[in-house]
Amino acid sequence: MAYREQGVPADRARFSIIIPHSFLSSRLSVCVLLPPPPPPHQMLGIPGLKASLLEEFGVRLLTYDLPGFGESDPYPYRNLESSASDMLFLANALGVSDKFWVVGYSTGSVHAWAALRYIPDRLAGAAMFAPMVNPYDSLMNRGERYGIWEKWTRKRKFMYFLARRFPKFLSYFYRQSFLSGKHGQIDQWLALTLGRRDRALIEDPIYEEFWQRDVEESIRQGNAKPFVEEAVLQVSNWGFSLADLKLQKKQRGKGILNLIKFFLSGSEEEYTGFLGPIHIWQGMDDKVVPPSMTDFVHRVLPSAAVHKLPYEGHFTYLYFCDECHRQIFTTLFGTPQGPLPVNNTIEVEQTPLDDIQVQEDASTQDDFKTD
């Protein structure tokens, strides 16, 4: 696994964040800017996330390449459970001893959902931005499904159809677009519909520089298979339902014996689902992950805090917005308290005075005998 570490050192981190990247992206999708601002060719991923902000809140930020993306080795048998295991392995290997936050953006949210399902005890909470779910989820009602699919282009719908029914044909389309070696805009390569503000952003030369470098890193192995696997993961059976994450009382066994056993044991009520906070930010002009998708998530997970963003699209809230980043961190972490203080205490093993006296007496006797 290739990873990238930014922010405060591990021993001073008040909060740790792990971010799985989205489709056609890499560990470079989140870049922390150091003062003075670097030239565009040295900026990668989400621009505007400043090192000073991470320092102010005491945040350690970890990103990594999914299997077969960037510099990470492929893993052809991966699923969402193994994706959560990868995240857990990364946290343990890099010394994240406390619970950490997982951040999911767009299709990267698929892996964040998996972490909530499979490693909930290691998570402090989740922050989701335009979170993607399976567009074929059987829990969707007709209105939610229509609100999602009617926003998408015919080509995008066709690509989802191929991923679900004939995934081998995806390789051809990928080699004609982002694996062709040619440069193109994200909306053309991924058949996206964009709102006015998103359109203006992706046409900005600075954003294009970010986008192209992140894509180049993502496809550096030149293999279509990991991208096909990722597309299939999004639309196939996840192995769990979002409803499994809902916080609810654990059902006791039926019958009088189970009831008597419960009262005699004196045990407290047990809960299932994810116990920590889930925050979702959704642009109301987002046509890539339409608001109907977040409406569906909120219906299934009513305890999730949804922050609706008027006039914002899929990209505009996260990119080039210092104020937005501060709002997000304040929502998640509260008042900034900086990194943890440096521990300069030196532990010295103390010897009891009685032992010292015995050692001195023995030394004197030895000297006497030598003489």
Domain boundaries, the chain: 3-241+273-333
User: Do residues 74 and 223 touch, judged by C-beta distance below 8 A?
Assistant: yes
User: Looking only at Cα atoms, what is the longest distance across the chain?
Assistant: 102
Kindly give the pairing relationship between strand 271-272 and strand 15-20. Answer: unpaired
Report whether pLDDT(262) > 70: no
Where are the strands (E) in the chain, listed by range? 3-7, 15-20, 30-33, 46-50, 59-64, 100-105, 123-129, 248-249, 271-272, 278-283, 305-309
pLDDT tens-digit map of 7-56 = 999 999 999 999 999 999 999 887 666 565 544 433 333 556 888 999 99
Q: What is the CATH number of domain 3-241+273-333?
A: 3.40.50.1820
Residues 335 and 143: their CA atoms lie apart, in Å, by: 40
Which of 50-59, 178-187, 296-305, 362-371 comes out lowest in average pLDDT? 362-371
Q: Residue 184 gets which letter from DSSP?
A: -
pLDDT tens-digit map of 216-226 = 999 999 999 99
Which of 139-143, 148-152, 348-352 comes out lowest in average pLDDT? 348-352
Angle at 43 between CA 310 and CA 188, to 5 degrees: 60
Higher per-residue confidence, 300 vs 183: 300
The per-residue pLDDT for 348 is 54
Task: Give the pLDDT band of residue 201 (cuts 50, 70, 90).
Answer: confident
The per-residue pLDDT for 370 is 41
**The residue to which tokens 């080509």 are assigned:** 155
The per-residue pLDDT for 363 is 42
